[in-house]
A and B are shown apart, each in its own frame.
Chain A
Amino acid sequence: MTVKKLGLKQRYAHMTRGLDWETSYQPMDKVFPYDSFEGIKIKDWSAWEDPFRLTMDSYWKFQAEKERKLYAVLDAFAQNNGQTHLSDGRYVNVVKLFLTGISPAEYQAHRGFAWVGRHLRGVGPRVAAQMQSLDELRHIQTQIHTISHYNKYFDGIAEWPHMHDRVWYLSVPKSFFDDARTAGPFEYMIAIGFAFEYLLTNLLFVPFMSGAAYNGDMSTVTFGFSAQSDESRHMTLGIEVIKFLLEQHPDNLPIVQKWVDKWFWRGFRVLGLVAMMMDYMLPKKVMSWKEAWQIYFTEAGGSLFQDLERYGLKVPKYADVATEAAEHISHQNWAIFYQYSHAAAFHTWMPDKEHLDWLSEKYPNTFDKYYRPRWEMWAQAEKEGKRFYNMALPQLCQVCQIPMAYTEPGDPTTIAFRQSQFHGETYHCCSDGCKDIFDGEPEKYAQAWLPVHQIFQGNCGGATVPDVLAWYKMNVGADNMDYVGSPDEALWNQWQSGKMKAAE
């Protein structure tokens, strides 16, 4: 008689269940002190279903294989001077923004999932959180490795960890993860596992990495898609978390809905940086932000929320506002960075005619009417030697920490301002979405480390722009300002003329 092999489902159950125990030296509530204060009620942890039935031995096997492939590409890229084969020298600014703004967030996600993996009482989510924690650590390591090659040639990335903690716009992604990591374990799972990984991560990695492929950045596309192959597992964890919480107790619904609303809006604000990369910073473009939003939020999010309706969960509040803003957000963000490019660690530029025409075509409702005339005015000012820099420090939103430059829903010529009072002080927000978040936990957001406030309080190296830039460790004249006239551009042009000579 042949012995029948166990099926995947049974095998997985044997490998992953019954690994934990009821503690006897200490009460369980003391061993897991953080999983009750948020008000979430769990009746039965064993009802947790792992969507991917991946055991630890398979996990190591697949991850090792992914790493071998990635490092083979990185070697090939370096050996063949891949940096000289990019579509244009401007492209590297995308990589700079990625390493300074996104990669440290991978590390924060690693820490966050390690903590959640310790503090949830159920063994199923603990194992899943542990794997994700390891994935996130892999992501930041591969990103540092990949981008270190660019650091040999291009400016703006040498001081990335230092800058992440100090530079004004990097406080946007930093504060997003600080916010998630200072929440309880269930809110963290909804914030990062569900809202970020399931709803929004596609918008970050898929069109953006496809853009890297199109622009000749073989190394970034490889780490990007290698990371993204882990994201599929993270997405299923996110969706499982939300189903599990909603199935466990009806009292969980209003708590979860509030978190979904909050973290959708927080994520949407952070992703404005990606919107700008896609519409303005990729020399060869793959799709507009508006198109990506249509595919990955409207279509994919629509299917998901239709599924979650059976639990009573609704589409996030202000999803309609975010969809309307998809017509504006990349343009408004690029305008901010263009005006403050003396204080940013990457280069900016005004789009050329071909790029303007592409934007007009992709944004027929808004670009010609609201943005193209401004870009043409600024380009003209550059020609006349009067390049416009905004020397006033901007007011920042207390929640998303982005300069208050976004416009009212339905009225793109009026800047939106919202205010709340707390303990006799006035706090400012950029939108109803951010104001709701502030009003939900004013004692948390009143403590926000806002870069502009900190400068005015004398905590950022001094009272002048050069003092602050020195405190940022910004290499002035190389890391910042326009691409045109930068050392990056000079080096790129030198490589190009070398190619021309070789072709003669």
Chain B
Amino acid sequence: MKQIASLTLLQNDEARPIIEAILADNANARVMNMHGAIKIDCDDELVVNRASVEERLGRTWDPQEIHLVLVSMAGNLDEDDDRFLVGWKH
């Protein structure tokens, strides 16, 4: 069975550039729309890149700002200054 990495984010204006960046950078991502939230799944790992979010947002963005719109996640977390990643690889 494939291991699913997942991020659930709020469906709002603040999260939209992050959602768009995730969908652009993770070719195999799958989306489940819910009322008020969006669940994005991907086999093995899912990455949020700072540069991709900043490009869409038009300002600097600290990956830790994801805390403000993050609802849930699945996978082991690895974060640094440039990206926020959940996955099952070791």
- Measured between beta carbons, the chain A residues less than 8 angstroms from B73 are 232, 235-236
Q: How many residues of A contact B (CB 8 A)?
A: 41
- Measured between beta carbons, the chain B residues less than 8 angstroms from A236 are 73, 77
Q: How many residues of B contact A (CB 8 A)?
A: 30
Nearest CB on A from B65, distance (A) = 8
- Asked whether A9 lies within 8 Å of B68 as measured between CB atoms, the reply is no
Summarize B's interface: helix, strand, loop or mixed: strand
- Among A65, A232, A304, the one with the most B-chain Cβ atoms within 10 Å of its Cβ is A232
In Å, the complex CA distance between A198 and B72 comes to 10
Given contacts A62-B67, A206-B37, A206-B71, contact A299 B81 (CB under 8 A): no
Q: Is B61 in contact with chain A by the CB < 8 A criterion?
A: no
Q: Is B34 in contact with chain A by the CB < 8 A criterion?
A: yes
- Asked whether B72 lies within 8 Å of A231 as measured between CB atoms, the reply is yes
Q: Is A485 in contact with chain B by the CB < 8 A criterion?
A: no
Q: Is A302 in contact with chain B by the CB < 8 A criterion?
A: yes
In Å, the complex CA distance between A332 and B90 comes to 42
In Å, the complex CA distance between A307 and B45 comes to 13
- Asked whether B74 lies within 8 Å of A54 as measured between CB atoms, the reply is no
In Å, the complex CA distance between A235 and B35 comes to 22
Summarize A's interface: helix, strand, loop or mixed: helix
Q: Is B58 in contact with chain A by the CB < 8 A criterion?
A: no
Given contacts A8-B81, A210-B35, A221-B36, contact A235 B1 (CB under 8 A): no
Nearest CB on A from B74, distance (A) = 5
- Among B6, B76, B77, the one with the most A-chain Cβ atoms within 10 Å of its Cβ is B77
> CB-defined interface of B66-87 with A at 8 Å, one 1/0 digit per residue?
0111111111110111000000
In Å, the complex CA distance between A494 and B79 comes to 53
Interface residues of A (CB under 8 A from B): 7-9, 51-54, 58, 62, 65-66, 69, 202, 205-207, 209-214, 221, 225, 228-229, 231-233, 235-236, 239, 286, 295, 299-300, 302-304, 306-307
- List 24 A-B pairs, Cβ < 8 Å: A7-B80, A7-B81, A8-B79, A51-B76, A51-B77, A53-B79, A54-B67, A62-B67, A205-B71, A206-B34, A209-B36, A225-B37, A228-B72, A229-B67, A229-B69, A232-B67, A232-B71, A235-B72, A239-B76, A300-B4, A304-B74, A306-B3, A306-B88, A307-B76
